[in-house]
Amino acid sequence: MSFENLNDREKDILKALIDHYINTAEPVGSRTLSKQYDFGLSAASIRNTLKDLEEMGYISQPHTSAGRMPTNLGYRSYVDYLLTPENLNESEKKFIRHKMKTEFTAVGQILEQTSRVLSNLSQQLGVTITPQLDSAILTKLELIPVAANRLMVVLVVKSGLVKSILIEVESNLPDLAINETVEVLNERLCGLTLEEIKATIGERVKGANAGDPKLIKLFVEGPEEIWEFPSDEKLHFGGASKLLQQPEFRNPQDMTKMVELIEDRKAIHKMLTRTGISEGIAITIGHKNKKGEDEQLSMLSSSYDMGGIKGVVGIIGPTRMQYSKLVSLVDYTSKMLSEILSD
């Protein structure tokens, strides 16, 4: 049965059960719900509703004598239909602004700090990924002689990132030839994305009547590393110790699984990017590990903007997390990060 077909009583009880479980990490019974929530129903009526919700797959009962807890389907319905975001208060916003507007200027340092801020406020794993720079726009190229037969190539992209790489040339080139080559490359390549440059540079510099032909050819046929920015677009995360203090990881086996996930940066990168990078908050419920086993993990993520290219910022933690508050936290932090990187 789809969520829309649940009656109001079932929706109210499902929301109350998930709210209570998120706050306590303990299975919830009908007696608890009847005492703490004003449904105007007897414990027996609530119990019958819980049985119906269990049969429909929204909740489960770990033991016959225990209360119920949400399933992934229950959480999915909760975040899609029942969630009311809880706004950050002014002190929380001030904390985020203060911690993020630091003396750091390197993008990697700013992203590391952002992941720590998210972790401090969420008590989960804060994560950030720098943008995929293939979509970065080239704004300037420079060539600087540094030694005999060696030039430093300096690339600047719209986001403000700068990359330098040393290349070898066949012989010492006069300054005029180097300067003319720089003019040709800037004239024909600036304003294009790195991906466009790599795909079309041969056609774009064809027929150049200035510059050194051999040097221009080196940019066309030379190492791809010239146009590849270093993978600073990697994962940054903070707060692993806070995450492991959650009740879900009291069991040594569960803690070991989480440590293995944290150490597997490719898996976390995949979790953050598998739904693509889009505007707004994305909430992923559940995660399959390498063995195909379901892990009780959720991820809240959003994109941020850095000079027209997008990265990802988010939180990873147990499915039992404070979605209502963390949605606002991730949203506000992503906007602050865009603002800082734009400045």
C-alpha to C-alpha distance for 284 and 297, rounded to whole angstroms = 8
Say whether pLDDT at 103 is over 70.
no
pLDDT tens string 183-198: 999 999 999 988 898 8
pLDDT tens string 196-234: 988 888 888 888 888 888 888 888 887 777 887 655 457
Per-residue pLDDT, averaged over 78-102, amounts to: 91
Degrees (nearest 5) of the Cα angle 137, 139, 144? 125
pLDDT tens string 309-340: 888 999 999 999 999 999 999 999 999 999 98
Query: How buried is 254 (Cβ within 10 angstroms: 0-12 exposed, 13-18 middle, 19+ buried)?
Result: middle
List C-alpha distances in Å: 291 to 22, 29, 288: 27, 33, 8
Residue appearing with tokens 């806070």: 242
Looking at CATH, the fold of the domain delimited by 3-82 is given as Arc Repressor Mutant, subunit A (1.10.10)
Q: Give me the residue spans of the domains in the chain.
A: 3-82, 90-132+233-342, 134-227
Predicted pLDDT at 290: 65
Indicate the residue type of 78.
Y
Neighbours of 101 (CB within 10 A): 14
Which residues is 138 bridged to in the sheet? 157
C-beta of residue 326 within 8 angstroms of C-beta of residue 122: yes
Residue appearing with tokens 């950050």: 88
Per-residue pLDDT, averaged over 253-280, amounts to: 76
63-77 residues labelled b (16+ CB within 10 A) or e (exposed):
eeeebbbbbbbbbbb
The correct answer on CATH 3.30.390.60 for the domain covering 134-227 is yes
pTM equals: 0.77
- Please give the DSSP secondary-structure letter assigned to residue 230: P
Say whether pLDDT at 121 is over 90.
yes
Residue appearing with tokens 């807890």: 69
pLDDT tens string 170-180: 777 888 989 99
Indicate the residue type of 194.
L
Predicted pLDDT at 49: 95
Q: Which CATH number fits domain 90-132+233-342: 3.30.450.40, 3.30.750.24, 3.30.750.200, 3.40.50.150?
A: 3.30.450.40
pLDDT tens string 51-83: 999 999 999 998 877 789 999 999 999 999 999
Query: Is beta strand 138-147 parallel, antiparallel or unpaired with respect to 125-129?
Result: unpaired
Residue of 94, 117, 121, 93 whose CA lies nearest to 104: 117
Fold match between domain 3-82 and domain 90-132+233-342: no
Per-residue pLDDT, averaged over 99-124, amounts to: 85
What's the farthest any 2 CA atoms get from each other in the chain? 91
Per-residue pLDDT, averaged over 15-32, amounts to: 94
C-alpha to C-alpha distance for 208 and 263, rounded to whole angstroms = 49
